[in-house]
Structure 1
Amino acid sequence: MENVPPQSRALAEEIVKISSVGLAGPYNVMLRSPVFAERMKRLLDYLRFDTSLPKRLNEFAILIQGRLWTSQVEWYAHYPLALKAGLPQSVADDLKANIRPRGMQPDEEIVYDISMALANQHTVSDELFKRGVAILGEQQLVDLVAVSGTYVTVAMLLELGGESSPADKPLPFPEKPR
């Protein structure tokens, strides 16, 4: 906290109250751009606490981006939150093993399929879009894309800052060299 610029101290104190990694993780890098940090924190607050997506699906979307980016901190922070929110451990563990999760519910499948289509093909087919709207509705579909894109940004910030999971914990993805 003593290294935080004075104009960012109040925000840093807010972050410490809600973050499982304190001022580490993406916040360390974000605070170097105070206006961005303030706005990104507000967006993250919405996406983590007030989104229209059920918490189980929201956390699943975050884990998908964490896996795609091999993001140690995202996985470390959000894996227990996803399980607590009701995501089956087998689904999360298959994702971690980098395979299409087996036994997903229809809403989990649409979150996975849309997230993967956007990440890999940078498009969503008309059929996938219609399925997404039928299962999630328009607002949840928009919030899914928002959380996914935001956590790509978070993964990039974590990479930029060289952030990893706590030193006393095993890396979620030991295959990622640093």
Structure 2
Amino acid sequence: MHQPSRLPAFEPEQASPEQRALLDAILAGPRKSLNGPFVAWIHSPQLGDLAQRLGAFCRYESGLPLRLSELAILTTAAHWQSQAEWYIHLPIALEAGLSPTLAEQIRLGGIPHFSDGDDELIWRFANELYQDKRVSATVYERACSRFGLQVVVNLVALLGYYGLVAMTLNVFEMRAEGQLSLPFAEPPGT
């Protein structure tokens, strides 16, 4: 992974027992790498352990089909203009069946044109939450009717978790493994 300039270099051979346990848990889990926020979180192993376990649930067990959870993650990445989050999740979303045109519309920040009602509902839910800090009764009721209350609770957690990921990646200026281009313009002064 690109070592961000705001973090000291992490050398696994010099890891504390807590850092080693976290590193082992991440590498043994479904992710199999430190790509993402984990190089930052390893500097706070207790937080890192809790966050990576929450993330595994949100990403792999939300009850949403992969295309929809990845759509929610891309909506989050676009909201936060998180370079690494977008870079990591775009190929996963496309492989899961998300339209490249829809992904690009989300990246650009406009109102996308939807051909699938579930895509539109997930985007509206996430977008309302990010823009209005609330979800309208209409969108909430549609989401509960379509996905069930438990999945809606999990969707809120997924959005919150990937907000945490985006903030971590942005604050520490992290990039993904192999990332050579940026999907979002960097703000002046960073």
Give the TM-score of the pair, scaled to structure 2: 0.85
Given that 2:35 and 2:177 are in contact with CA atoms closer than 8 Å, whether structure 1 keeps it comes out as no
- Write the distance in 1 (CA, Å) between the matches of 2:62 and 2:138: 25
Query: 1:64: which partner in 2?
Result: 75
Structure 2: state its 5+ residue gaps. Answer: 1-11
Could you tell me how far 1:54 is from its partner in structure 2? 0.9
Q: Out of 164, 170, 177, which is 2:181 matched to?
A: 170
- Number of corresponding residues: 176
Supply the distance in 2 between the matched residues of 1:168 and 1:98 (Cα, whole angstroms): 21
1:96 Cα deviation from its structure 2 partner: 1.2
Following superposition, the deviation at residue 103 of structure 1 comes to 2.6
State yes or no: 1:155 paired with 2:175: no
C-alpha deviation, 1:118, in angstroms: 0.8
Structure 1, unmatched stretches of 5+, are none
Match of 1:82, as an amino acid? Answer: A
Whether the aligned pair in 1 keeps the contact of 2:126 and 2:159 (CA below 8 Å) is yes
Partner residue in 2 for 1:83: 94
CA shift, 1:3, in A, is 4.4
Counterpart position of 1:27: 38
Whether the aligned pair in 2 keeps the contact of 1:4 and 1:31 (CA below 8 Å) is no
Equivalent residue number for residue 17 of structure 2: 6
Distance 1:102 1:9, change over 3 A: same
Amino acid at match of 2:186: K
8 Å Cα contact 1:26-1:154 kept in structure 2: yes
Tell me: higher relative CO, structure 1 or 2? Use CA pairs within 8 A at least 6 residues apart.
2
Identity %: 34
Q: Secondary structure at the match of 2:123?
A: helix
Question: Deviations 1:65-115 (Å, cap 9, x if unpaired)?
Answer: 100000001001000011111111111111112222213411111111110
Q: Deviation of residue 119 (structure 1)?
A: 0.6
CA RMSD of aligned residues (A): 1.8
Pick the aligned partner of 2:61 from 50, 71, 75. Answer: 50
Equivalent residues of 1:91, 1:104 under 8 A apart: no
Alpha-carbon distance in structure 1 between the residues aligned to 2:88 and 2:13: 24
